[in-house]
A and B are shown apart, each in its own frame.
Chain A
Amino acid sequence: MWTRFAIVAVIAAAIVFPLFVTVNYFIHLAILAMIFMIVAQGANVIQGYTGYVSIAQGAFMGIGAYASALLSMRAGFPVWLSMLAAPIFTAVAAAIAGYPALRIKGHYFAIMTLAMNMVVFTVLVNWVSLTQGEPGLPSIPSPEAINLGFTEIAFEKRRAYYYLALAALVLVMWIVAAVVRSRVGRVLLAIRQNEPFAEAAGIACWKYKLFAFIFSASLAGFGGAIYAHYMGFINPTPFSADASLNAILAVILGGSGTLTGPLVGGALTVILPEALRVAEIYRLIAYGLLLILVVIFLPRGLVPAVVDGVRSISRRRKTP
């Protein structure tokens, strides 16, 4: 009951946000934050729920971004269609990469995915005939305008795109919530807690791990597609391993294995570096320090810490 109320309140707040905020720069940050929340939620599926840390979210975001951009520019797909095709494209790439990679465990899996990210990055830089390499792809089209009869929504406008990103985020949250609460979600949790035991219970763990990996990658691909058509220009830089590490960071900061954690973490990883600009050249030092403090004092992340705090306060009130 309270959760449902909170969800409605947050969505309502997100809807009215652009009406009160007049500075375009804040809207821009909000859009980037929402895109990154989608990518982080993907990382959460494999890292938080399944217990396998993947350092390839950035690469999958890149595959989605380039797939969507190229489909709309070169193959003549409508932008809406190419944005929906991007996650499918990414899923296929993740299936090919994940099948061998998921045979190994723990740190080795993480290193393997890091290597994948580097390979994808190198391909994006060097396959010039397709990606135009380091200089990047300019003038990626915005999604086609929607005509409502009395008015037309043009997505070149920042505010319109804000609502597009918000709708995409709500859709992603809804799908992820459905998956983690299903039987499949239970099995993923079982794998995280004790994989050999889950295997001994008759669960074909590799199938579920592959599913989690593909699912998490396709969310990153979807985020990448929204990013590409928002920025109108992409080059390989934002899809390096740095982006993957940021996604991991977002999950840890917010609270891994919780639905809301990646939202908080994703927002922070986009907004904190900007907010810390006041510290000028000490910005990155301050950022690093903050992260270290969170990891030391709130190892489970912000959301579980806040939830526990609220719970213990309300309990104290009930039993004085």
Chain B
Amino acid sequence: MLEVSDLRIGYGQVEVVHGVSFNVRKGECVALIGPNGAGKSTILKTVCGLMSPLGGSIMFGGRSTAGEPGHRIAGLGISMCPEGRQVFSEMTVMENLQLGAYTRRRSSIKDDLDEMMTLFPRLRERAGQDAGTLSGGEQEMVAIARALMARPKLCIFDEPSLGIAPRVVDEIEQTLLAIKARGVTILLVEQSVSMALRVADRGYVIEAGLIVLEGSSAELAGNKNVQNAYLGF
């Protein structure tokens, strides 16, 4: 479904991603893991069209999307749940979710709103509240629900557990598993490697802008280097 090959990305003159190739198949959950500054978020931003690549190709559903503007890529069915609980803080939870469905016809939205409220019961209580007044975990749920409201073909999560209370991280893990069980294709970037490998089917390890290792989650979890570097064995 998503086919990235030899992708190179830079900020100004500095190249930070040096030719990365990976793919995500329909119905799969793929994780990109690696240390801070490896280029994971940069890759996601580029896939979503918020940055332009220096070279390489991105194919989504058989169509080249490299360098297309973000709103057009969103229209093709890639939805992004950005890093750091980004919500429209001065809008209510309900308005946030409605904006998530911006690319769709309005008539079909109501059922999905109900569905999100069932998936996140806490959001139902908070529907009329400004999103900025919610707790970190609740804001993350708004962000996730907003991304799902677009009924994406591919849903991208950038560090959903970043800066969130450990108890809520478990909740988010359950949520990701629930989303996956619905058949949504997921590309996940996560610093909590143990959680990422529990949720994902396959993973790629990225270090300093290069893929150094790839394999199924079980293989990665069993790899000595991954264990030493990320799992704290």
Contacts and interface: CB of A to CB of B under 8 A. Distances in A.
B91 A203 contact: no
B91 A204 contact: no
Most chain B CB within a 10 A radius of its CB, from A198, A199, A200: A200
Contact of B86 (A186, A194, A204): A194
B90 A202 contact: no
A10 interface: no
A201 to B, nearest CB: 5
Nearest to A191: B88
A199 B88 contact: no
B146 A193 contact: no
Contacts of A100: none
Interface in A159-215: 186-187, 189-190, 193-194, 196-205
A200 B80 contact: yes
B100 interface: yes
B70 A200 contact: yes
A205 B71 CA distance: 8
Interface string B129-151: 00000000000000000100010
B71 A204 contact: yes
A196 B100 contact: no
A209 B99 CA distance: 17
B99 A186 contact: yes
Interface residues of A, number: 16
A250 B203 CA distance: 55
A292 B90 CA distance: 27
Interface of A: 186-187, 189-190, 193-194, 196-205
Nearest to B143: A197
Interface of A is mostly: helix
Given A194-B86, A196-B50, A196-B70, A201 B91 contact: no
A11 B48 CA distance: 49
Contacts of B50: 196, 199-200
B88 A202 contact: no
B82 interface: yes
Given A186-B99, A193-B88, A200-B70, 15 more contacts: A187-B102, A189-B90, A190-B88, A193-B90, A194-B86, A197-B86, A197-B88, A198-B99, A199-B49, A199-B50, A200-B50, A201-B150, A202-B150, A203-B71, A203-B102
B95 A186 contact: yes
A176 to B, nearest CB: 19
A199 B68 CA distance: 12
Name which of B48, B69, B70 has the most chain A CB atoms within 10 A of its CB.
Answer: B70
Contact of A200 (B82, B87, B91): B82
B175 to A, nearest CB: 19
B70 A190 contact: no
B89 to A, nearest CB: 6
Interface centre among B79, B80, B89 (most CB of A within 10 A): B80
Interface in B71-118: 71-72, 74-75, 79-80, 82, 86-91, 95, 99-100, 102-103
